[in-house]
């Protein structure tokens, strides 16, 4: 059976996981405290936490009998770098299109 490789992009693709990251970015929370914020089962939240942990966006720390989830936001840098590359690419393309349209509009006005 082929093992699924999870990455940060897959993790943030799901709105529930994005909200979990948002919640625990404020302060570490235990699994029950996280689950209270959603209308899905605790096992479903545990599965989301598992995916976030596999991607390196969440770490789990034991404190007594509780497990606290902490956000590891530095991993989102990968997303930020990817977005910046594409932002630069599309900005240059849109700037070129704007220049082209301006030049053609000026040409039509002089006719």
| Structure letter (DSSP) for residue 39 | S
What sign for the dihedral angle of Cα 19, 16, 90, 104?
Answer: negative
Q: Which CATH code for domain 8-73?
A: 1.10.10.10
pLDDT tens track for 48-96: 999 999 999 999 999 999 999 999 988 888 888 888 888 888 998 898 9
pTM (2 d.p.) = 0.72
User: Is 55 within 8 Å of 11 (Cβ atoms)?
Assistant: yes
User: Is 60 within 8 Å of 28 (Cβ atoms)?
Assistant: no
Domain boundaries, the chain: 8-73, 76-109
- Kindly tell me if the per-residue pLDDT of 2 is higher than 60: no
- Kindly tell me if the per-residue pLDDT of 38 is higher than 90: yes
d(CA 49, CA 17) in angstroms, rounded, equals 8
Q: Place 31 in a pLDDT band, splitting at 50, 70 and 90.
A: very high
User: Is 103 within 8 Å of 65 (Cβ atoms)?
Assistant: no
């Amino acid at each position: 059976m082929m093992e699924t490789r999870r990455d940060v992009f897959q993790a943030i693709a799901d709105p529930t996981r994005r909200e979990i990251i948002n919640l625990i970015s404020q302060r570490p929370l235990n699994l029950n405290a996280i689950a209270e914020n959603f209308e899905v089962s605790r096992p479903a939240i545990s599965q989301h936490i598992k995916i976030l942990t596999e991607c390196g966006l969440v770490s789990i720390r034991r404190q007594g009998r509780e497990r606290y989830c902490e956000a590891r936001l530095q991993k989102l840098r990968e997303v930020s770098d990817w977005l910046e590359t594409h932002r630069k690419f599309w900005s240059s393309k849109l700037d070129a299109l704007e220049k082209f349209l301006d030049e053609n509009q000026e040409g039509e006005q002089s006719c």
